[in-house]
Structure 1
Amino acid sequence: MRKRDALRVLLALAASLLLCPGVQAATPEVVKPVQSCTGLLATALSDIGGEGSQVLSARESVKDGVTMCVLEGRLAPAIGFRVSLPVEGWTQRYLQIGCGGLCGRIPEEVGAAEGCVPLKAGGFVIASTDMGHQGMGGEFGRDEALRIDFAHRAVHLTAVAAKKLIRAYYGRAEAFAYFTGCSDGGREALMEAQRYPEDFDGIIAGAAAMNFQVQNGLYHAWQASANTGADGQAILQAARLPLLHQAVLAQCDGLDGLQDGLLSDPRLCHFDSASLQCPVGATSPRSDCLSAAEVDAVRKLYAGPRDPRSGERLIIGGPQYGSELAWAGVFVPRAAGQPIFSGQIALDALRNLSFERNPPESFSLADIHFDQAMLEQLKPLHPLYDATNPDLRAFAAAGGKLILWHGWADPHISPLNTLAYHEALEQFMGKQEAAAFERLYLLPGVYHCADGEGPSLVDFLTPMLAWVEQGQVSQAVLAKQAASRPRSSFGQPGALSPAVEASPAPAKTRARPLYPYPALAALKPGADPDQAASYTAAPARFTASTPAWAGSSLFTPYRAK
């Protein structure tokens, strides 16, 4: 529990919980408003955001049977925010949600909270922000103040403003505050823990774009370049990915102890795409093998760039084995002639955000040299955008709790980034100290923030409530298979994406327990592999740390900019 004033400590001890199935539940203390929704229009916000900051609209709205007081507002200069306050049933909890891509919109979807009862019942005040600009492009990066708003200011000030509005509406402060986000929302989550450790009691960071500078300037730039031929067209296209994926599974499925079409730890796999190369002399494209150019592109996509002189890795790691189907629409176009999305991501960031002074509009991927010098050019703004600082002493001292999670089959952000941060926390804070407030979960076969071949429907919010409010630490979190449904390539509707895509339909319904890293789920002898109760925690089969790379120092303590 955080170190709050005496009243809130008593609330924390007295408040009972309404939790999701599997956790002992009781009826929470409900607090009702002390003034009207429209009365909040008079709440002053200039002390938070500066002159011109205000609540712009206030209205009651019903969603999923819950009546909310919905506020829209602005914090100067251009931070848009929304706060939704339950008219009935508020359980003294505040939840802020992160935004994906480069944001530019106010998100509404709460991720990684599948089936959480108090959330569905309207027990939370919920807030979010567009992070200081409108539109999903990076043009806002031409304004230094808007860069700061995007990096961290908008999320923090939204939290401060929302809490002031909570006090005005209910006549008391929230008892507990939570943040959850994925992709850039995961970066925002970690930024809060690192820069503003008093803002939230519990933080859930999924597939975090924490390594923002390298992620855009080197990872996505390389993925696009590696799959571009001399003619400017993509070498590898989506139609070839099932062949590649099946070859990976044929060699590596089962290395984790279970033959299930999923790689529970892809680091055990040592696949070589040369095994798929067509025989010498093949003159026409074949469906059962890859051309030499395709084999070379696949190797580069897995491996990532290296400095040509030292041979050092320039990124932590590329997409992991088992993620091949998720490459479609990201760095492997779905059809001939389509642009490579990774190239669009990289160029948008490099032209507008990544450097202290923006390059000319003519800047292209051809201008990038994948070497140590390029990494050095990205470092000046590392303290502004990145959220890789492992010094969470202030957050831990305040009683904060942190859940990290990542899909092993994520093509947008390599899960090795999240692993590296987990390792950095243990190294800097100490393993025992880190374990007191942080947990990491890795989801086999799950794509970026959602969906995939593996069970991806998960609720991290309920165990976070139990951990923060009752001191109960979950040893396993249930993940269920999702049915095929449309999603953006950032796993969040409306996020930066070339088109809405659909994840493959799962072969059958299944559920698995997720154990805190490094434990794996092991099937009990003779048990049904589709039932969560059939599994138990097993020791890790891969014990090495993430590989050394040229930017390893980015995951050590630094002074935020």
Structure 2
Amino acid sequence: MGKDLFRITQVAMIGISLFSSHYLYAATTTIEGKPDGASLAQSIKPVTSCSSLASVDLTVIGGAGSNVTSATASVIDGQSVCTVEGVLAPSIGFKVKLPENNWQQRFLQIGCGGLCGSISEQVGAASGCEPVTNGEFVISATDMGHQGMGGEFGKDPQKRADFAFRSLHLTSVTSKALIKAFYGKDPAYSYFSGCSDGGREALIEAQRYPDDFDGIIAGAPAMNFEVQNGIYHPWLAQSNTGKDGKPIVLANRLPLIHQAVLEKCDTLDGQKDGLISEPLSCQFDPAILQCKTGEKDAADCLTQEEVTAVQRFYKGPTDPTTGKSMIAGGPLPGSELAWAGVFVPNSKDEPIFSKIIASGARSVLFKDIPDDTNFSFSTMKFDSKLFADLKAMHSFYDSTNPDLSAFYARGGKLILWHGWADQHISPVNTIEYHKAVVKFMGEKKASAFERLYLLPGMYHCEGGEGPNQIDLLTPMMNWVEQGHAPQAILAKKPHVDEKTDFGTPVRDKKGGDAAAKPVAQTKIDATRPVYPFPYIAVYKKHGDVNEAENYQPVKMKNAGKSPDWLGNDLFKPYPLIN
């Protein structure tokens, strides 16, 4: 790891001169009034027992019925930890883990995925980050106000608000109260990290509660929550459903499609490596795979029905009246293998997961819960009326507001990240949000507190063909505490991908009680730098292609023209409703 860090530092220093100057602005800023991170080396010991935290009064935070349900001391992964669990009224579950021996005045709250409903303890985007594993952080999380992955909570107005935003803030306030009670000190630095809905939650914090956290890491954010669950996934489900009600494209066809995409676009960055670093420049039409008339063996070609379905995947729905797209972007070229199990099932009898996700969300999405007695995704109409019905709850659930003035003013830092091959949420959403922040805040201000990283070949929050293990928490700490703005980050390709629950939408998931630690692998097959958007890592044409030091930053040929779609105004400032 030390060798990797040395090499990536070299890469960053070499590449820094190639960046436009605005990326270097305010490279030594820290949060005014905060101690320098280097001064936090002194471990803070508890001033009271773990069991005493059971009597901390939470009614002043969550109202009547809020209380600590347990406060238990135990050893987790060699660290002595006080684990506090409780409820904030009416039903916000939370868990806080407070280390007893090595706390360095840092607090980390982590997000969840899907519609939440359980407490995830997986710290993502922090691969190999020692401060997480050695007890330097207090770590907390919430189930977002309901239990279970379904959307039944949408029938309760209070639980809607708890899921949309309230749980996040109250868990932050509660965690800090428990920290003060246990150590006799407030945290010096507070961080939030989440992916998928956790990414939406991260941006909710930056937009609604700018004083809660000093550094926020938002991965593959479901910030466009209404469109994501009310249009994007329903469209994918409908597009892959035939007249017989069965799936059209099955997972065994995806390698054929993916290979054709690679043949078309793999070398756009000058390197044939099985990854697409610039999907926005890839012009791929699956019609090239259509079987010729009279061709009997369809193993190496697609039927007309399959071609049409895949074209619909990429394109997304359009309003029949205006002709405008109803989504900011669909799944991008290079993501094909990740479609398996989401909107492309493994067998004709396997339900389409996109339909399951969208079905669960229907009682949450609309202002008035729809009567789904006769509803069917196969006959669902995609038009401006549907968009307007969903838009009614935009400022309640979504976190696309680019006005981060308050977060910026108090010295907050934001890192956005997304896998280019994400199968659940199109990276175009995150790119458009980044552009909106730059446009609203101004390039100079935006570059002082915000970065966007896009990872070639990475799926939703984890995994993929490309290097996908990253540590964004360490550079975030360096930025917040030391004033060192991040440039290149190191992405690692593990020998075997390890599945986590960090932000990944799941079905029938029961409460998460995994250890709160980042994924770590003993064997790494490759490393590669990832530069802030709009730069990509390009091979220097010499040296080992699997070593990060042999890549340099080059500006993307096509950073993507902002789409003209029905949601153009969703990424503009808007009043927040409660």
Is 1:358 the equivalent of 2:358? no
For 1:516, the equivalent position in structure 2 comes to 532
Q: 1:326 to 1:82 in 2, by over 3 A?
A: same
For 1:81, the equivalent position in structure 2 comes to 94
For 1:323, the equivalent position in structure 2 comes to 335
Residue 48 of structure 1: how far off its partner (Å): 0.4
Aligned partner of residue 487 in structure 1, secondary structure: coil
For 1:118, the equivalent position in structure 2 comes to 131
Q: Tell me which amino acid in the other structure corresponds to 1:32.
A: K
For 2:544, the equivalent position in structure 1 comes to 528
Residue 259 of structure 1: how far off its partner (Å): 1.2
For 1:390, the equivalent position in structure 2 comes to 402
Aligned partner of residue 252 in structure 2, secondary structure: helix
Query: Which whole-Å CA distance do the structure 1 matches of 2:531 and 2:91 have between them?
Result: 42
For 2:494, the equivalent position in structure 1 comes to 482
Residue 180 of structure 1: how far off its partner (Å): 0.1
Instruction: Report if aligned partners of 2:198, 2:503 keep a CA contact under 8 Å in 1.
Output: no
Residue 526 of structure 1: how far off its partner (Å): 1.5
Can you give the 5+ residue segments of structure 1 that lack an aligned partner in the other structure? Answer: 18-26, 501-506
In structure 2, which of residues 555, 559, 564 is the aligned counterpart of residue 548 of structure 1?
564
Query: Which whole-Å CA distance do the structure 2 matches of 1:530 and 1:279 have between them?
Result: 40
Q: CA RMSD, aligned part only?
A: 1.7
Query: Which whole-Å CA distance do the structure 1 matches of 2:499 and 2:251 have between them?
Result: 17
Residue 41 of structure 1: how far off its partner (Å): 1.0
Instruction: Report if aligned partners of 1:256, 1:541 keep a CA contact under 8 Å in 2.
Output: no
Could you say which structure has the greater relative contact order, defined with CA pairs below 8 angstroms and 6 or more residues apart?
2
Output aligned runs, 1:244-323, within 5 Å: 244-282=257-295, 284=296, 286-323=298-335
Instruction: Report if aligned partners of 2:405, 2:441 keep a CA contact under 8 Å in 1.
Output: yes
Aligned partner of residue 231 in structure 1, secondary structure: coil
Is 1:435 the equivalent of 2:447? yes
Query: Which whole-Å CA distance do the structure 2 matches of 1:84 and 1:144 have between them?
Result: 30
Q: 1:379 to 1:2 in 2, by over 3 A?
A: farther
For 1:16, the equivalent position in structure 2 comes to 38
Query: Which whole-Å CA distance do the structure 1 matches of 2:487 and 2:535 have between them?
Result: 10
Query: Which whole-Å CA distance do the structure 1 matches of 2:453 and 2:365 have between them?
Result: 30
Residue 16 of structure 1: how far off its partner (Å): 1.4
Residue 524 of structure 1: how far off its partner (Å): 1.4
For 2:177, the equivalent position in structure 1 comes to 164
Q: Tell me which amino acid in the other structure corresponds to 2:365.
A: S
Residue 364 of structure 1: how far off its partner (Å): 2.5
Residue 117 of structure 1: how far off its partner (Å): 1.4
Is 1:403 the equivalent of 2:415? yes
For 1:22, the equivalent position in structure 2 comes to none
State the aligned residue count. Answer: 536
Aligned partner of residue 253 in structure 1, secondary structure: helix
The percent identity for this pair of structures is 54
Q: 1:140-187, CA deviations, whole angstroms, 9 ceiling, x for partnerless residues?
A: 101010000000000110000000010000001000000000000000
**TM-score, length-scaled by structure 2:** 0.90
Is 1:537 the equivalent of 2:553? yes
Aligned partner of residue 509 in structure 1, secondary structure: strand
Query: Which whole-Å CA distance do the structure 2 matches of 1:414 and 1:387 have between them?
Result: 15
Deviates more, 1:250-259 or 1:122-131: 250-259
Aligned partner of residue 506 in structure 2, secondary structure: coil
For 1:97, the equivalent position in structure 2 comes to 110
Residue 545 of structure 1: how far off its partner (Å): 2.7
For 2:575, the equivalent position in structure 1 comes to 559
Query: Which whole-Å CA distance do the structure 1 matches of 2:194 and 2:283 have between them?
Result: 32
Q: Tell me which amino acid in the other structure corresponds to 1:292.
A: Q
Residue 2 of structure 1: how far off its partner (Å): 7.4
Aligned partner of residue 241 in structure 1, secondary structure: helix
For 2:65, the equivalent position in structure 1 comes to 52
For 2:507, the equivalent position in structure 1 comes to 497
Residue 523 of structure 1: how far off its partner (Å): 1.2
**TM-score, length-scaled by structure 1:** 0.93
Q: 1:451 to 1:491 in 2, by over 3 A?
A: farther
Can you give the 5+ residue segments of structure 2 that lack an aligned partner in the other structure? Answer: 1-28, 511-522
Q: 1:233 to 1:291 in 2, by over 3 A?
A: same
Q: 1:47 to 1:81 in 2, by over 3 A?
A: same
Instruction: Report if aligned partners of 2:251, 2:346 keep a CA contact under 8 Å in 1.
Output: yes
For 2:77, the equivalent position in structure 1 comes to 64
Query: Which whole-Å CA distance do the structure 1 matches of 2:386 and 2:30 have between them?
Result: 42
Instruction: Report if aligned partners of 1:285, 1:291 keep a CA contact under 8 Å in 2.
Output: no
Residue 499 of structure 1: how far off its partner (Å): 9.2
For 1:23, the equivalent position in structure 2 comes to none
Query: Which whole-Å CA distance do the structure 2 matches of 1:250 and 1:3 have between them?
Result: 48
Query: Which whole-Å CA distance do the structure 2 matches of 1:97 and 1:353 have between them?
Result: 22
Instruction: Report if aligned partners of 2:422, 2:460 keep a CA contact under 8 Å in 1.
Output: yes
Q: 1:534 to 1:140 in 2, by over 3 A?
A: same
